[in-house]
Structures are given as structure tokens and as C-alpha cells.
Amino acid sequence: MQDEVLLKQVTSKAQSWLTENYDEQTRKEVQQLLDKEDKTDLIEAFYKDLEFGTGGLRGIMGAGSNRMNIYTVGAATQGLANYLKKEFANLPEIKVVIGHDCRNNSRKFAEISADIFSANGIKAYLFRDLRPTPEVSYAIRKLGCQSGIVLTASHNPKEYNGYKAYWDDGAQVVAPHDKNIIAEVNQISSVSDIHFEGNPALIGILDKEMDDMFINDLLKLSLSPESIERHNDIKIVYTPIHGTGGRLIPTALDAMGFTNIIHVPEQDVVSGDFPTVVSPNPEEPAALEMAIKRAIATDADLVMASDPDADRVGIAVRDDNGEFVLVNGNQTLLLFFHYLITRWKELGKLTGKEYIVKTIVSSELVKTIAVKNKVQIYDCYTGFKWIATVVRENEGKRQYIGGGEESYGFLAEDFVRDKDAVSACMLLAEIAAWAKDSGKSMYRLLQDIYLEYGFSKEKGISVVRKGKSGAEEIEAMMKNFRENPFKEIANSKVVLIKDFVKLIGYDLVENEQLTLDMPTTSNVLQYFTEDNTKVSVRPSGTEPKIKFYIEVQIPVKTREELEQAESAAEEKVDEIRKTLGI
């Protein structure tokens, strides 16, 4: 009976998309959904409206209220425009920046958004073609804009697209603006509420001039120019995996002085179909396979791959046997933070006012590095808008060194307020040159970090549950974890539980309750055990999955013990998985 009611509702909703308010192609797609005997696709396309959440929009492309298309993008843009006009009513001109990645329909959605902003009297700066997401953040700040958007679904499969909204500081929107924009978007009840007819006089084009300013500012981040000069011929394989990084990253590396950047020609081809990979996600080993083969063929030292919108980077380095090994997001963070803090120290730049930022699910070893070097560390929620919030709150008070998260995102500069694969690739290349000055590989450098600060192994596990039923299952899993908290994980007693929905910590040793000092609530649970294991659980905000983050620590004293520690950590992770039932 419930299914019949739902089918009746979605059928009625779908039929409303057959009117003249919608273009011919959309009407045709909707009619095909209605005509299909199997109504699964119809239900998935119309059972709800694609939500403009605190991170914007993200969804599968196609016709329907629960899909990414010109109407859902149009409603988002009109809602944002309405809010900007209220919030900045006192300004003579409201300005926004619009960027997009390589995905199918990204350019179309970007142009339609420019039309809608301009139709609402808002000046829209549209990049001439695809550009890295961090450059959009940079341009918002550089041009003194009030907002900006990027059309991207980051590393999601090719069927997806997305829409990220930014505020005047170049960061993704946070409270109170996020909820206020959502309210405005939700008030768009009809296609007739969206002003699609653009005003060309209010649309400006951004091109090479902005690229040059961005790269010139990034060059100022370099801490070891002499090392680059000595090792400028390091062989580096770089791939944009068909995305926007190919527009800027090789140019930036060349500007730094690196002369031996090796391309993967098949993956330089810009394509939203990502023809050479199953998933354009640098977290996935398969995404780097072609680049690693190219590195082996050319005897390269380092492999770097950025995701489609060039805000995240994955790397591979040679081990002591000359074989390429993947470096995960947490290990990359360790390399970044160790290098930056070490060089700031060596250059006499540490004054006691410096700080770094990591997310709560990232390695606790980062905290060990910061504390040992007397650098303040902030923990924040997953998502770079929270790192950007810490940067904003410390402006004029403390000096930012860097911020990052385990999901392959890092930011070395404060003139951008989102993760940046352009500066990250520049920094990684510089670290490789600096390590070479001491006769070390990147692999040996990582081992040295473990020997100095302790060995840590992290494992991220995602359990995918698609569609309406999947969302309900994920919700039930989180409810069960809360109502039946673990007392032990892999035979180690749980000593601390943090529930970020309640902003309460439970110290099970002292038997007391703690208040968690965070800017807002978040659906995250964390367990800490006697043997320094940390387990974090959270549903993804952008994908149909629940994520588990496992971190185990093993004491090591010598380089020879590292291999044994790696094996012990793997066994421990397997035990933890059994405890969690994943």
C-alpha cells in the first residue's frame, strides 16, 4: 500500500514536468521514465527534491526533482541570488565568481548560473573554461566578491555533478548563511520563479591573467628554493585524470623551476566520461595505475594525481626496493606538516603564534608532531569549510602554517580558503627536492617521521548503501552505534567516547561527562581505546555511504621494526573490522 501511495505521488510530480515550463529534452526524458514498466528509476528521480544542503548540491545528472539538471541548478542559483540581494542590499554592486570542472554539463550549468545571476542584477565573473576549484576561492578574494560557485562533483563517478557555494572570504558557506541560503532555495516553488534570461553586460570572463596572479602568489610559499635549484630535474609524473589540474599544475611546477614533468597523454584529455579510469578518485589505487606505469617506463621518482576539480592529490613514491608504493592521505599529511614545521623552525620563522589545523578523523600523529614542536593545533570537523573557519577566526591573531584532512586535501596558503591540489603538488615536489638534499627518498623521509614520532596506520572503510532504502539503513546503523556503544574494540577497553551530535564526551576511566567545544553539531561518533586506537564513524555528507576511520598505533624504535609494525597494524585493523561488523 505504501509503495502504491509513493508511486502515485512521484507519477503526479513527474507529470508536472511535462508542461511547457520545461524544455523539450527534459520532457522527453521524463516521459521515458513514466513509460518504463519498471518504476525504480522514476521513483529515484522524483521521490524527493535534490536537497541544497550545507555543502550545496550533489547528485546524479538527469531529468527529475532529485537529479542534477538545469532546473535544480537554476533553483539553487536563484535562491542564492535572492539571499545575496538581501544580505548585501547596501552595496552598489554584488559580485560572484563562477567556476567549473571537466564533468559533463558542468560548462552548461556554469553558463546558466551566470545568466541567472546577471538576470538578477549581480555581476558574474565566469572563467573562460575549466579551472581548479581553489582558483575560484582565490578569485573571490582577489576580486572582492560576495560569493562564488563551482560546478563539480569532485571525485564522484561520472554520472554525478554538483554545485558548491562560497562566501565572501572564499570559503564554502557556513552558519548562518548556509541555512539562510537553503531557506531561500526552498522557497523557489516553480520554474517561473527562476530568471533564466541573462544580461551579457553583467557577465565578465576570467582567463590567463587570473591564472598568472594565482601562480605568482603560490610561488611565495616556497621554503627551499635552493633545494629546487639543485634538484630541478627530478622526474615527476603528473596526471590530472582528465580534469582541471592539467590547466594549471604543470605550469605551476614549471614556474617553480622543475624541468622534468612527465605527462600521461591519455589522461591529459579533458573528459567528463573519465575514459581511462573506473573512478577519478586519487584515493583509489586504480586511478594512479597509468601514471605509475608511466613512471616505471621513464624511471621517475614521484607520481602525483589530482582529482577532477584539482583540490585533492594522491601520490606514489619508490620504496627501498625501487618499487612504487601508494602514500595515503594521512601519510601525505605527515609529510606536509613535518616539512612545513621543520623548515619554519630552521628558517627562524616560529615565534609561538603559529598553528596548524586537521580534521577530527585525521591521524593523531599530526598532533604529536605539532605538540613536540610547540605549534598550536586545532581539530575541526571533516570538510575544508571548517578548516577555513579556524583560519578566519585566527586572522590577525595567529599565523597559519597549513591545514589538511585524511581525504587527500591540503592547504598551505591562507589566501585560498579551500583545499588546493595546485599548491599541494608544488609543495610535494619541493619536499622531494629537499629530501634529496639529505640523500633521502620520500619513502625514507616518511619512515624517519615514524621513527621520531611513532608509527601509526590508518584505514578508511566505506560501506555503500544507495537510494532511499540505503539512506534508511545508514541512519539505522548510526542509531544502533549510539544506543549500543562499544565497551571494547579488538580486545582493548574503550576509554573515551565522543558524540558530536550531542557535543558530549564520555570519559569511561574517570566516569565523567565532557563538553566538546565545536562550532555546531555533526553526525560523528568516535571511540578511543587503551592501546591508542581511534575509530571514527560518520555518514558521508555527499555520497550514499557510511564511513569508518580506523587508526592504530604501534611503538617502534628502529627502521627494521617498521615492517613488523606494519604487519601487526594490519592484523589489528582486521580485528577492529570484525568488532565493527564491516
| Catalytic residue of the set 65, 106, 118, 154 | 154
227 flagged as catalytic: no
CB 100 within 8 A of CB 130: yes
Q: Which three cell numbers stand for residue 75?
A: 533553483
d(CA 335, CA 313): 13
Give me the long-range contacts of 478-487 (CB less than 8 A, separation at least 24): 478/523, 478/525, 478/537, 478/539, 478/546, 481/525, 481/537, 482/525, 485/527, 486/527, 486/579
Closest CA to 123 of 200, 211, 194, 207: 200
Which amino acid, 226?
A: E
Which amino acid, 418?
A: D
Strands 236-239 and 261-263, bridge-based pairing: parallel
* Helix ranges (DSSP H) in 120-231: 133-142, 177-186, 208-219, 225-230
Q: What is the DSSP string of 270-282?
A: --TT-TT-S---T
The residue ranges of DSSP E strands in 293-435, in sequence order, are 302-306, 313-318, 324-327, 354-359, 376-380, 399-405, 409-411
CB 127 within 8 A of CB 99: yes
In this structure, what are the phi and psi dihedrals at residue 513, rounded to the nearest 5 degrees?
-100, 140
d(CA 285, CA 289): 7
How many CB atoms within 10 Å of residue 264? Answer: 23
CB 522 within 8 A of CB 516: no
Q: Which residue has the cell 548585501?
A: 88
Specify the DSSP element, H or E, that contains 476. Answer: helix 467-483
Strands 236-239 and 302-306, bridge-based pairing: parallel
Cis-peptide, bond into residue 176, ω within 30° of zero: yes
Q: Which residues are catalytic?
A: 154
